[in-house]
Amino acid sequence: MNKFIGFRVLKFFVLIFFILSFSIASGQTGNINTPSHDNAVILGSRYSIVDTYNISESDFIRGADISTFPQIDAFGGKFSVNGKTTNLLDILSDNGVNYIRLRLWHTPRDWYCGLESTLEIAKKVKAHGFKLLLDFHYSDWWADPANQKKPTAWEKLPFDLLKDSVYAYTYKVISLLKAEDALPDMVQIGNEISPGMLFPDGAVSGSTGWQKLAQLLNSGISAVHSAANSPVKIMLHIDSGGDNAKSRWWFDNIMAQNVPFDIIGLSYYPWWHGTLVDLKNNMNDLAVRYNKDILVVETAYPMTNKYLNDGMDNVGFDEQKLIPGYPVSVKGQTDFLFTLKNLIKDTANKRGIGFIYWEPAWIWQKPFGTAWEYFTLFDPVSGEMLPSLEEFIEDDSTATGIDEGTFENGNPQFPQDPNNPKYPGANAIPTDIVLYQNYPNPYNPTTIIQYYLPESALVTLKIYDLLGREVVQLVNDTQFAGLHQTEFNAIRHQLTSGVYIYSITISPNSDGVSPSHSVELNSGSGEKILKSGEAYFTHSGGMNPASHSDGISASHSDGMNPISGSINYKSDAINYNSGAASLSHSGAMNPAPHYRTSTPRTISKTMILVK
């Protein structure tokens, strides 16, 4: 990506799949009024109920691209913590950063980001215990969707010699780094190469575009493996973090060319690349479709809009395209990082492996200005560390990282977190709405969805595809407090393999009366209708006729007795036309109280169908 806004106008295509409104869970950080809007604060934020994750914090990449640091350091730039000047690498390490990304230009005009400069900083990075991601731009300057210019030294080479040059140059770089104990742990071949690389030869336009791009990529990848002679992860990086159509188009074509790589790299800047929902949906789909790990390799969020008159054009942002609930402030930046890392951890099949923050330390150090002053994790003038950097600290007990409940042999187990007032005690009954991860997941063809209501409410439960189209409505009913479940069968709806969204909306039962039901239960022995009762029943058994003649076999925790094919409760009856049912009741049998939440709340999760 060209980080200077004055050079070229970048073209980004944002595909909005659907709008999901996510509620704010009170009692954690305060009450925030979040607009219901396609940019709404989503699953994984401080104010929402989040999905579960298992990924190890020690393996999760919490990285920083500090490619500009050598230039800042050369001009005397200083960084500090609580006013005490401290080495930048020490600050990053102390605050949980475990990966450093460095860009490499072929023949830069001012030495920085060239091989010699990069080798020097790479040795320091590895000596500090960081893992290293090396970013080959294969250009003398910025390579991004608008700029993929060949190095001047390669401009007139025929294609076969260009491939050889890519191999020879890449081999040389990796060999030198290895010799200096600075071998990268990961290498990306090209930077934001959605249109291709090394133009015009490697541009994807034209009848042979993808074949030529694949040959150039293969040259670089082969050189890395030959020179390293040890495992080094290969990443292919495009710019379209929130654009699933563009991402699928690119990786479908590159996979068709059999290019060997390990990691999908995505850039995600919210004001250019769509909403957090867009990012989440894209990562989930790519994870299932390609079975590859995914790294958000470039990201940032503004903490100020104050312009510095430092002689350098700024990269700007449109505040209208930022995420509501995440203001332009240090707190907004902090909350964005908190949300992002948990969203990535929740990627389908646990394929989300981390993120790299782009240039968090690009501060202003005269005479060298900064184009990134709105987005740094340090004060852009003083170099003082901002609290947002602390979000990189390894912490398995982060509040929203704790799952709301897991399954054991198909049964929900409530969280065991005594420090979270929302979930008091081991296996305590939750005091807030909980939507559990479906079980099994991935599934084929049936799966169970369970949810918990602390009070009675009007509930709708729907399944959507990734384009936001409703597949089926599973529940639309007023229900009592307690644990509820429903089974979803993909065969009935002729679904294909992929990622789907299941979404529950809980609305207040504001009329103060008890729930009434009309729930259809299907069987081969007749239609069963649950009518006008003050109890919620979950069908938990077969609908085949019972061998005994009294009509219904039912188990209840409230002492209700089946009598001659009907269940009487406060003058209402549950009547069955034929056959028998096994009924279980979970929840209070008392008339419904007023629901305390005054606005509807929606919680969503992803599930994966594999055929």
* 332 sits in which H/E element: helix 330-345
DSSP one-letter code for 572: E
Can you tell me the distance from the alpha carbon of 531 to that of 548, in angstroms, rounded to the nearest whole number? 24
User: Which of 127, 178, 288 shows the shortest CA–CA distance to 611?
Assistant: 288
Instruction: Mention every residue, 6+ apart, whose C-beta is less than 8 A from residue 560.
Output: 535, 554, 567, 569, 585, 589
Token output for 145 = 């969707």
Query: Is residue 373 annotated as part of the catalytic site, yes or no?
Result: no
Q: In what order do the strands lie in the sheet with 538-539?
A: 538-539, 582-584, 553-554
3-class SS string, 445-464: CEEEEEEEECCCEEEEEEEE
Query: Is residue 192 annotated as part of the catalytic site, yes or no?
Result: yes
Tokens 């869970």 sit at which residue?
Answer: 25
* 422 φ/ψ sector (left φ>0, alpha ψ -120 to 50, else beta): alpha
Can you tell me the distance from the alpha carbon of 38 to that of 299, in angstroms, rounded to the nearest whole number? 20
Can you tell me the distance from the alpha carbon of 242 to that of 273, in angstroms, rounded to the nearest whole number? 5
Token output for 408 = 């054991």
Determine whether 418 is exposed, middle or buried from the number of CB atoms within 10 Å of its CB (0-12, 13-18, 19+).
exposed
Angle between helices 276-290 and 244-256 (to 10 degrees): 20
Can you tell me the distance from the alpha carbon of 104 to that of 114, in angstroms, rounded to the nearest whole number? 6
* 53 φ/ψ sector (left φ>0, alpha ψ -120 to 50, else beta): beta
In 155-307, DSSP assigns E strands to 186-189, 196-197, 202-203, 233-238, 263-268, 293-299
Token output for 198 = 């090394």
Can you tell me the distance from the alpha carbon of 394 to that of 354, in angstroms, rounded to the nearest whole number? 12
Can you tell me the distance from the alpha carbon of 301 to that of 333, in angstroms, rounded to the nearest whole number? 5
Instruction: Specify the amino acid at residue 560.
Output: M
Instruction: Specify the amino acid at residue 204.
Output: V
Contact 238, 283 (CB under 8 A): no
Instruction: Mention every residue, 6+ apart, whose C-beta is less than 8 A from residue 371.
Output: 3, 4, 5, 312, 313, 314, 315, 362
**Active-site residue (options: 298, 359, 391, 404):** 298
**Active-site residue (options: 116, 180, 192, 534):** 192
Token output for 113 = 């980001």
- Catalytic annotation, residues: 192, 298
